[in-house]
Structure 1
């Protein structure tokens, strides 16, 4: 007999998926402990679970999955082949439809003016406190993308406007924003995307006092005394991050970072599906403002799953003993804010749990 954890490891299905398919009557455990409710699976069920994992990765609807599993071990496999072929045709048609829609969207983009062009070719000269810029870079650096397929996210956005420098990074799954006050720039809004190696070189120069930041079209320079870091900006548009920021609201909790970190590191985790998938922490914010790291088997609807490593990084980047954790719906982003600085925050995308 295999425990549910062993079955998850050997089959490629996550624990939450196994629970889901049990409730759906698709893959029912051979035995369920009447006291603890713990699930146990027979040796013959491993093959079914691996088949189910393949069908799941292929995106087959649950109704068809039931029929495939029912006919898989039978003598007549004709129905199974028909179901597989029909699903493949649906996928191919869906891909064809998606290509058509994307082609139309690209045509629309080709006829639009790029609103970022003027922002990226402007010039700016400003002064900023080294300690403030260092703190801002430290607060967002963890969220910068390393995906070579998304070069526009492989840097840190410097957004200069109205006496403020907003520093932004995102890899799609997390977004971090921090700000610093600046002097010397009275012109219009200027934006540049600084490659992460150059941003790291700038951070290494930040010690004390004031530093000078200069933008000349696609080139940016940071001067700290007689030291300098300069280079070309990325020639890509950065997403309009302000539209990605979640609205105020939801359930908020003021957490002690050290205690919360310990609870995350030692508490229960769920394993996301797929090779190399991250460990998930499942959280729930009570009406009294307390945060609970949910135990395995907690199925309350207000729980939210998040990449545990990403959350720990965000806590470190928050650089405070206490941080505000804002949670809304299970499908809404999780926000981490500093109690003393509403303009600096981290946003983490939740991970969907099986119903």
Structure 2
């Protein structure tokens, strides 16, 4: 377990620096563009995604460590900030603690500087304070608690966006049925309790599947498309088809156990970022190359289409007085 925590801490240091470089001083590019056909489209930052996906390859982190799937979570949260949602609204946040309720974030802004500094010091300590900070978010569905990978929520609104991610890098025929079946059950569980929330699912798949098991890949694509068309499942589904230039992620067939909430008190935490050693930029420059195979991605599962659907769903389900930053960005797309 100690090795896994070290791998995740190293990954967070790299993830945070990559996102920081992509959005210097917290200034994000506008993802909305007007395409050649005159229609507004969401243009994801695939360059940043490729860098993030290179981190688990560089660290040789297997799926059980949680690092490979975490790369997708970090990217989706980053994309939502590009769309205009605040850094404290989208979880995981771009700094530790990854989960911080909006009420606590607002309190920090209102406190005198000296008091705010003391509270921030407490929040940034290793270990999560139950009910205040956390490394992951668990949401109650109709029948059971479910860890949600990317989320926008507040006590006054309830969950507004819930995105689950899965990743598969090998043993496609063996692992695909289980992961899709789990995702379908999770969708129903969350949708029945939170019908107004934008509910999405993103599947990260090694492009090796196209060559090694093309039949399984075709079957999987079809199921993912149908998952995004069910009236009582996801509002949209997306596919990140990854092609590596070197060694693949070590897929041991299992992702970390989500478990159940622990008893009140201080929870162990493994997302505390170690102090920068001055070599982060060098490490980022040497990350293995990753390519996103958009050419082999069905239109219904295009990441840009998925993100547009999620943002649109959140904005349609809330008054115009809310999420003004996101509304402004969508209303002022750039030429593409």
Mark yes or no: TM-score above 0.5: no
Question: Using CA pairs below 8 Å that are at least 6 residues apart, which structure has the higher relative contact order?
Answer: 2
More strand by share: 1
More helix by share: 2
TM-score (norm 1): 0.23
